[in-house]
Structure 1
Amino acid sequence: MYETLLVLLLTAGLLGVMSSPRAPAAKLLTEQAFWPAWQRFWTAGCQLASHRRQVLYVAVDTARHQAIIRPVKRHAGPVPATLMTLPLPTSLHVAADFWATAISAHGWAPATTLEWYSRRTGLWWYQTFQLKGALTYVTFSETRRPEKHRTT
């Protein structure tokens, strides 16, 4: 356990040293710490869908600063209870202000790229889901990608 913590601290330190001058390490740390938390949240959602053999709804709501996972509403009636929530850093928001997808009963999700914007650093973050949602890759840029390269 201590080895894992040491590796995480070293990685965070290196990211801080290697960050661009426009976005100091202190400003990026909160946002960079979010991505591993998101990965755990996403993976747990995929595993939960597979275990329950149930389609799950995943939504990112910038206005409420949270991501949620809940069963998909199938019929008229109340919205199913939320199974998991993840708070979002207040500086990050989804470019579309709201994003949603579904995780299949097999634990798979469609390949897509989720576009985030940081109000704190002015950076655009691109989170790409590949291999039926099993792999998440995060990059950032000081400029927004052209429209034809965005999928959100």
Structure 2
Amino acid sequence: AAWRTGGAPRRVVAGVQWVILPVMSALALEAVIAVKTVAMGGGSVRRLLPSTLRRSIGPFIFLDHGGPARVPPGGGIEVGPHPHCGLATLTMMLEGHILHRDSTGAEQLVTPGDVGLMVAGRGVVHSERGGDAARRAGAAGADEPPVW
């Protein structure tokens, strides 16, 4: 969405144009952050956060968009076990299926329209897998290209 900034003051920092907008008698800054591609799970995701201009927004440390991913029959996204500490992950599936497992014993099949929330607290190890793993967990149509 484009902002109507009119004659709002502007400032360029590190090659990015910042616009100072009045919002309910407070000041807000707007920055355009370039999305970068990051390898993940045998494919790639488009990552907005963190960036050199912004480490986080409130509790959001990572903001990724994955898919659609082309996977061979029986294959799928394979994000193997990895740790998190002091953050929460929120996975929202738009298409396809991912099976989430973690070191607390939790197992959740995340399907289109679902939201999976994991709060890491002092630490947790988790994995996310599609394809055969999602199919064994009961996902119909587990071969669909995942989008999250």
Q: What's the TM-score, normalizing by structure 1?
A: 0.23
Task: Look at both structures and tell me which one has the larger radius of gyration over its CA atoms.
Answer: 2
Higher helix share: 1
Q: What's the TM-score, normalizing by structure 2?
A: 0.23
Work out which structure has the larger RCO, using CA pairs closer than 8 Å and 6 or more positions apart in sequence. Answer: 2
Higher strand share: 2
